[in-house]
Amino acid sequence: MAVNAKAAQLRASGRDILSLAAGEPDFDTPSHVKKAAIAAIRDGLTKYTVVDGTPELKQAIVEKLTRENSLHYPPEQILVSSGCKHSIYNLMQALLDPGDEVIIPAPYWVSYPDMAKLAGAEPVILRTDIEHGYKMSPEQLRGALSRRSRLLVLNSPSNPTGICYSDDELQAFGAILADHPEIVIASDDIYEHILWTGRPFRNILNVCPVLHDRTVVLNGVSKAYAMTGWRIGFAAGPETIIAAMKKIQSQSTSNPSSISQAAATAALSGSQTLVTRRCKTYKQRHDFIVKSLNSIDGVRAIDSDGTFYAFPDMNGIIERRDDIANDVELAEFLLEHASVAAVPGSAFGSPGCMRFSYATSMEVLEQALNNITKALQM
Ligand code: PLP
């Protein structure tokens, strides 16, 4: 918030700010998706739909989950919502009671802990660092479990680190969770298509199918199809949980936009070539930014497995400079002296780090990295 306010102030004073803060693709929504939305308007699909999603979209989701994830759900076990964020919110509201604990590995996507608190629950944050590849260890998970643990949130590939858990790591988590049948697992798969491990995307259900009856798979069209503004996300999971989430949605937002649902149906069922091509572009930008960041003295970046974020550890800079006390001040410094907006790691529960989004053009990235390098050498 502080960095945004400062960026807005600088922009208002006429400064050109290079934004590496975006949490959304810089690409446009594919044209066949836009056409489907226009057709929906023309065809009069402008009324309420059923709360949990049109039969067409739910069928497209059923087929997507089978085709891409080898996961099999009947339509009753799927709820379409106004963005993946809404899906996660519905889940936490439906599942959590005051006193419950939600296990969240850090760095985390900013909304998880606050959504848990809104439901009266307590976030239990498991800190990870760059030395451990920003990954929660099985020992950490085991040590965090208590009688009050109710939900574990997994996000792989992760916002903000871009890191992905391997099958073995997921398997190890599954083995621990097997002894705790009361814990539900939220698998936030929103970045599944922006991945360059060379292996197919896998979530915990692929390696531990025994968790099927207590895992909720959360996803959406925002990141893969550059559809952040359309607000379509979905959840697939146990019937009782999905039914409870649907009740909450029914008394709050009702159905997601009918037009966006038609667009999302086209996105999920249409050609996927653009998704693959865009992923390659993100990878090229990733290679450039990680290399450039590592060439700055005091900055340590590791390769991401996917997403469009780099999350370097900037402690070397903070320790060296008297004029920068922490990551928030470093973000303000970069705005002031490099005209670059980035998000401080403390927003994600990892002080001392910085999130740089490369959902922007190579020209902007080159200019930004050039400015950052010069400013930090001052
Ligand atoms: N989950 C993660 C990890 C995200 O980074 C985001 C968006 O930034 C979301 C969920 C929410 O996505 P949506 O736009 O579908 O609400």
Q: How far apart are CA 354 and CA 161, in angstroms?
A: 10
313-335: per-residue pLDDT in tens?
A: 999 999 999 999 999 999 999 99
Average pLDDT of the residues of the chain: 97
pLDDT band of residue 3 (cuts 50, 70, 90) is confident
CATH of region 2-23+274-376? 3.90.1150.10
pTM of the model: 0.97
Whether 188 lines ligand 1, by a CB cut-off of 6 Å, is: yes
269-301: per-residue pLDDT in tens?
A: 999 999 999 999 999 999 999 999 999 999 999
The per-residue pLDDT for 22 is: 87
pLDDT above 90: percentage of residues in the chain: 96
Mean pLDDT of 150-156: 98
pLDDT at 2 over 90: no
Q: Where exactly are the structural domains of the chain?
A: 2-23+274-376, 31-269
Calculate how far, in angstroms, residue 298's C-alpha sits from the geometric centre of ligand 1. 30
Whether 23 lines ligand 1, by a CB cut-off of 6 Å, is: yes
The β-bridge partners of 341 are 19
Give the number of the atom of ligand 1 that is nearest the alpha carbon of residue 232. 15
239-274: per-residue pLDDT in tens?
A: 999 999 999 999 999 999 999 999 999 999 999 999
Q: How far apart are CA 333 and CA 372, in angstroms?
A: 10
pLDDT at 154 over 90: yes
Q: Give the other-Cβ count within 10 Å of 264's Cβ.
A: 32
Strand (E) or helix (H) holding 280: helix 273-294
Fold of 31-269: Aspartate Aminotransferase; domain 2 (3.40.640)
Residues in the chain: 378
Give the number of the atom of ligand 1 that is nearest the alpha carbon of residue 155. 3
Whether 220 lines ligand 1, by a CB cut-off of 6 Å, is: yes
Whether 83 lines ligand 1, by a CB cut-off of 6 Å, is: yes
The per-residue pLDDT for 240 is: 98
Task: Describe the strand order of the beta sheet including 78-81 as a list of residue ranges.
Answer: 78-81, 233-236, 215-220, 184-188, 149-155, 101-106, 122-127
Residue 370 vs residues 121, 312, 319: alpha-carbon distances, Å: 44, 16, 22
Q: Is 290 left (phi over 0), alpha (psi -120 to 50) or beta?
A: alpha
The best mutation among 79, 84, 104 to test binding of ligand 1, ranked by most ligand atoms within 8 Å of the C-beta, falls on 84
The best mutation among 85, 115, 228, 231 to test binding of ligand 1, ranked by most ligand atoms within 8 Å of the C-beta, falls on 85
Q: Is 249 left (phi over 0), alpha (psi -120 to 50) or beta?
A: alpha
The per-residue pLDDT for 86 is: 98
Which residue's C-alpha comes closest to atom 12 of ligand 1?
84
Crossing angle between the packed helical segments 258-269 and 31-42, to the nearest 10 degrees:
140
Give the number of the atom of ligand 1 that is nearest the alpha carbon of residue 221. 15
Whether 84 lines ligand 1, by a CB cut-off of 6 Å, is: yes
Whether 218 lines ligand 1, by a CB cut-off of 6 Å, is: no
Calculate how far, in angstroms, residue 84's C-alpha sits from the geometric centre of ligand 1. 6
Residue 81: phi, psi to the nearest 5?
-135, 180
Q: How far apart are CA 230 and CA 221, in angstroms?
A: 8
